Amino acid sequence: MRDVAIIGIGMTDFGELWHDSLRDLFVKAALAAMDDAGIAHLDSMYVGCMTPGLFTGQEHIGSLLADYLGQAPVPATRVESACASGGLALRCGFFEVASGASDLVLCGGVEKMTDVSGGRATYALATAADQDYESFHGVTFPGLYAMIASAHMAKYGTKREDLARVAVKNHANGLLNPHAQYRMPVTVEQVLSSVKVADPLNILDCSPITDGAAAVILCPADKAKKLAKGRAVKILASAHATDTIALHQREDLTWLKSTAVAAEKAYKMAGLKPADVDFAEVHDCFTIAEICVTEALGVVKRGKGGEAVRSGYTARDGKFPVNPSGGLKSKGHPVGATGIAQVHEVVTQLRGEAGKRQLKKARRGLTQNMGGSGGSAVVHILEVMR
């Protein structure tokens, strides 16, 4: 297989974007990525989108978005893996370029979530849970992650304040991200006193409903330096794994097996260990998720995720920064776009273009994008090309 590089990135602002449709958002991000790469045509497209039918009444979006981008009749495929749809779209594009089938592939993600009521949005998101054993009985994702949090606190002594510190850290990072939905600081006290959603989780432990899109351009690594003018980023690894959707079928509520398996595959593919990676963008849909993900990635030992955020280990100036973009918690979570937005941040950091949130050490970065409560996970490892 050929080595694959990212030569262009683009992203819209994330938030309640009332004046932009799903197609508008995608085209804005895609054109920005194509402009960044300095290209005018594509060989293929993959678009991560969780449930456009329920959010906007529009299916068949591969064809629709290729048309509105002015790239028809190129092949365009919509990819779905719940909240991991964006990460899986990148993985599909990665293999198309690696196989030699195409040279210029756009991998994007988009979701338009705010055109429906809160109840309809909750229903749409709940389709990523087990319908027979969870959703039918009224369990929503805040409830599922509240069970994970309760189990982690009981098993490992994780403190309620540790969850709050994840929100505090990520809001501090998001304050420096011009694309972020919530560019505001929060304190531990504010998180703990915010409205209860599902004990022990409060509203400030939860990522928001968001509109937005992101896109990247892939090409063979041997052509990247010329096309990208020295700003190319190589994809060292792409890995995917699944687990049971229903929590009750898992051996351990505190362990994200799909993330652990995908991470193990990614490290093996890249020939690296967790210590060889400098930072990560991870799927903090709820504050407890970041804590569990850092453990599953091998960044910290099992049960030590709470301690890591408490000690500043995962802070922007810590030993292993996590979510310098602000994460889903502050940046926002347009579910189909999240995985690509994570890659956007890692590439921005590796290029040294992150401005005030630029990390001191950014040679290799990792993204972890997760579907539902961990029923699927996609991990990518990226490295700047010299």
| HEC assignment per residue over the chain | CCCEEEEEEEECCCECCCCCCHHHHHHHHHHHHHHHHCCCCCCEEEEECCCHHHHHCCCCHHHHHHHHCCCCCCCEEEECECECHHHHHHHHHHHHHHHCCCCCEEEEEEECCCCCCHHHHHHHHHCCCCCCCCHHHCCCHHHHHHHHHHHHHHHHCCCHHHHHHHHHHHHHHHCCCCCCCCCCCCCHHHHHHCCEEECCEEHHHECCCCEEEEEEEEEEHHHHHHHHCCCCEEEEEEEEEECCCCHHHCCCCCCCHHHHHHHHHHHHHHCCCHHHCCEEECCCCEHHHHHHHHHHCCCCCCCCHHHHHHHCCCCCCCCCCECCCCHHHHHCCCCCCHHHHHHHHHHHHHHCCCHHHCCCCCCEEEEEEEECCCCEEEEEEEEECC
Residues 112 and 64: their CA atoms lie apart, in Å, by: 15
Quick one: CA torsion of 94, 100, 106, 107, rounded to 10 degrees?
Answer: -20
Phi, psi of 374 (to 5 degrees): 110, 15
- Asked if 83 is an active-site residue, the reply is yes
Residue pLDDT tens, the chain, 386 long: 999 999 999 999 999 999 999 999 999 999 999 999 999 999 999 999 999 999 999 999 999 999 999 999 999 999 999 999 999 999 999 999 999 999 999 999 999 999 999 999 999 999 999 999 999 999 999 999 999 999 999 999 999 999 999 999 999 999 999 999 999 999 999 999 999 999 999 999 999 999 999 999 999 999 998 887 778 999 999 999 999 999 999 999 999 999 999 999 999 999 999 999 999 999 999 999 999 999 999 999 999 999 999 999 999 999 999 999 999 999 999 999 999 999 999 999 999 999 999 999 999 999 999 999 999 999 999 999 97
Residues 341 and 358: their CA atoms lie apart, in Å, by: 16
pTM here is: 0.98
Asked if the bond preceding 178 is cis, omega within 30° of 0, the reply is: no
Average model confidence (pLDDT) across the chain: 97
- At 137-153, the pLDDT tens digits run 999 999 999 999 999 99
Residues 164 and 117: their CA atoms lie apart, in Å, by: 28
- Asked if 49 is an active-site residue, the reply is no
- At 10-34, the pLDDT tens digits run 999 999 999 999 999 999 999 999 9
Query: What was the pLDDT predicted at 231?
Result: 85
Which residue among 152, 179, 240, 333 is the active-site one?
Answer: 333
Which residue among 83, 92, 285, 292 is the active-site one?
Answer: 83
Q: Which of 198, 51, 56 is CA-nearest to residue 126?
A: 51
Domains of the chain with bracketed CATH = 4-117+209-233 (3.40.47.10), 128-207+236-381 (3.40.47.10)
Query: What was the pLDDT predicted at 217?
Result: 98
Quick one: CA torsion of 111, 113, 119, 120, rounded to 10 degrees?
Answer: -60
Give me the amino acid identity at 159. Answer: K
